[in-house]
Amino acid sequence: MHHDHLSATFAALADPTRRAMLARLSQGEANVSDLAKPFLKEMSLPAITKHLKVLEKAGLVTKTKEAQWRPCKLNGAPLKDVSDWMDHYRIFWEESFDRLGEYLKTVTAQEKSKGKNHGRKKKNK
C-alpha cells in the first residue's frame, strides 16, 4: 500500500464519500451510524466502516469508545502536511500568468547555467 503519510492522506481524500464524512465531522463528533446515515441508500454499513478505516489510517479521524457507540472526531493534522505541500505550487494558480512566465524563465535559466541541455529546447520554428 502507501508507504508515506502524504500519499495515504491524498488517497483517503480521493473519494467523495470519505470527503463527505469529513465534512460531517467538521460539524462535530459523530458515531459511525450518524456518518453512515446519508449513504445507507447507496451502500451498506460495512462499506462505511471500511471508508472510516481508511480515514483513520491516514490519521484524519480518531475513533473512541463510548458504550456500544464509536464517537469519531476529525483530526486536521494530516491536512497541514497537504497544505504545506500545496504551498510550493500556489504560484501556479494564484499568481497572474505573466508573473508565472517570468518565474519560469528565471528557473529554467538557472537550469541551463548548470549545464543541463537534454530535452533540447531549440525552438527552431
Partner DNA sequence: CCGATAATTAACTAATTGGTTAATTAACCA
Partner DNA sequence: TGGTTAATTAACCAATTAGTTAATTATCGG
Residue 54 near residue 35, CB atoms below 8 Å: no
Q: What sign results for the dihedral spanned by CA atoms 10, 12, 14, 18?
A: negative
Give the one entry of a copy of itself, DNA, none that residue 5 binds, where binding means its C-beta sits below a cut-off of 5 to 8 angstroms depending on kind: none
* Shortest distance (Å) from residue 46 CB to a copy of itself: 20
State yes or no: residue 11 binds DNA (CB under 7 A): yes
The interface mask with DNA, positions 46-85, x = CB under 7 A, is: xxxxxxxxx--------x---xxxx---------------
State yes or no: residue 32 binds DNA (CB under 7 A): yes
Distance, CA of 59 to CA of 78 (rounded, Å)? 7
Distance, CA of 34 to CA of 44 (rounded, Å)? 13
Number of residues that bind DNA (CB under 7 A): 30
